[in-house]
Amino acid sequence: MKNSLQKIKEFNDNYSNTIQAIVGFMHIYKYEFKKEKNIDVKLFQGRKFDKENDKENFATPDIGILINEKSGVIGEVKNSFPKDTSLWKEDFLQLLQYDDNLIGWPVKDEIIPLYDIVLLVQDSRSRDVKDYFLSKKDELKFNHPFIIIEYGRSDEAKHYFRFRIEYGNLSEPIIHSKIYSGCPIAMEYLVVQYSKILIYDTPPHLSWMMFLIYSCMIDKATEENKYHKINKKTKIELEISIDEVVERLHKTYSFCSFHKNHQERQPKLPKKDWVKQAILKLVFIGEVRWKDEQQENIIFLLQKHDKSVIEHYAEKCLSEENDVNQTTLRF
């Protein structure tokens, strides 16, 4: 159990590291261009792009940056790479999809002439990933500038998130020189600025989703003046539709504030399916009741948990693992 709990913790840690890498990297652009020239920078996460040469499929990169409506950056964050290097090709093939001319930029005709493709890799693997890419350079040919950037925490008296270019040249000289030999961002800056972002366009661990739903239910109860001190015996019953749960999670924990003025191609996150899976689990452990046969409305039984809420749901996911046969959201 302890090892499994540790694994969940590591999963959640990787998940939040990825979010910090996304916001940290985007932040460098936002900050530098605002500081230097007050240039408009638009940021987006999980935006749906069409591909000029592949009408059947679309791309949803982790990172999207548009600078002055002219140039941009598309990126993917890989917090971990499998030990088996033969599996790495898939990640690069995903990046190669972005090499098609992407349609869907938040500009008038949805196309921009120039954009970089970046791969953000944790510092422990960045050198190996670069070597792998160089060894496969003949097969993995990018038409757009391709850059590998390492990121990682630097734990000194103050904790930093650091970005450094491992391979390639970013098209924006200001940013390139900033990141080339290492750009530290104080973690306190990141977490305070972006502490509300807890979900991106990859499903989190089921227990994390359950925790976020629980937090949202407390918010709902307080907002509607239904909250009173809860303990093990007193519960607050809250009626809510799954769509409202999704909406609340979206407003509270997603990247939605980044997309306020360019929402048109942004998916609503978390996806309803992720939320429904977590609700199913909450029903299974007796913390939620269905209100209708269509399973679109629920009654959430808000109660106090003896231990930490996150640990409570992690343990529930482990102890009931065999019954539901799934602890991680997969779609």
Partner 1 sequence: MNLIDFNSDFFQNLPDGTELISRLDSISNSENKPISTIPFGCEIDINELFERAKSSVRFIKKEEVKNDLSLYKLTHVNKKDKNIESSGYFILYRHPDYDNVYIAFTFEESVFFNQELKPFIKSFYPEIIFTFIKSKNMLDLIEQFKLRNEISAIIINKANFILRKEDEESFPGLSWPKMPLDEAFNWVVNDQNGWFKSLKFDAIRYNKIITSVFINRQGIVKTDLNFEMVYNAFIQPICKSIDSNYKQFRNRDRRSSENLDAKPLVVEYDSEIFKNVDENIIFINAISRLDNASVSTLHGNPYIHLSIIDYLDGSSFDLWVLNSKEIILVPQMRGTIASIKRILNHIFDTFAEGEIKDYEMSY
Q: Enumerate binding residues for partner 1 (CB under 8 A).
A: 12-13, 16, 31, 155, 157-159, 185-189, 191-193, 195-196, 211, 215, 218-219, 221-223, 227, 229-231, 251-252, 257, 304-305, 307-311
Q: Which is nearer to partner 1, 215 or 328 (CB)?
A: 215
Q: Which is nearer to partner 1, 12 or 97 (CB)?
A: 12
Its sign, for the CA torsion 264, 268, 269, 273, is: negative
CB of residue 159 vs partner 1: minimum separation in angstroms? 5
CB-count exposure of residue 48 (10 Å: 0-12, 13-18, 19+)? middle
Q: Which is nearer to partner 1, 176 or 305 (CB)?
A: 305
The residues facing 328 across adjacent strands are: 205
**Residue corresponding to tokens 């261009």:** 33
Under 8 Å between Cβ of 145 and 169: yes
Q: Which is nearer to partner 1, 257 or 319 (CB)?
A: 257
C-alpha–C-alpha distance, residues 34 and 29, integer Å: 8
Q: Which is nearer to partner 1, 119 or 221 (CB)?
A: 221
Residue burial 280-318, b: 16+ Cβ < 10 Å; e: rest: ebbeebebbeeeeeeeeebebebeeeeeeebbbbbbbbb
CB of residue 224 vs partner 1: minimum separation in angstroms? 11
**Of 22, 11, 41, which Cα lies nearest the Cα of 254?**
22
C-alpha–C-alpha distance, residues 291 and 295, integer Å: 7
Q: Which is nearer to partner 1, 109 or 155 (CB)?
A: 155
CB of residue 27 vs partner 1: minimum separation in angstroms? 9
DSSP category for residue 285:
T
CB of residue 252 vs partner 1: minimum separation in angstroms? 6
Could you report how far apart the first and last alpha carbons of the chain are, in Å?
Answer: 25
CB of residue 228 vs partner 1: minimum separation in angstroms? 9
Q: Which amino acid is at 127?
A: R
Q: Which is nearer to partner 1, 51 or 248 (CB)?
A: 248
CB-count exposure of residue 228 (10 Å: 0-12, 13-18, 19+)? exposed
Supply angle C-alpha 267, 271, 274, rounded to 5: 160
CB of residue 92 vs partner 1: minimum separation in angstroms? 31
**Of 29, 55, 11, 61, which Cα lies nearest the Cα of 267?**
61
CB of residue 54 vs partner 1: minimum separation in angstroms? 37
DSSP-derived 3-state class of residue 108? coil
Q: Which is nearer to partner 1, 167 or 211 (CB)?
A: 211
CB of residue 227 vs partner 1: minimum separation in angstroms? 4
Q: Which is nearer to partner 1, 91 or 311 (CB)?
A: 311
CB of residue 8 vs partner 1: minimum separation in angstroms? 11
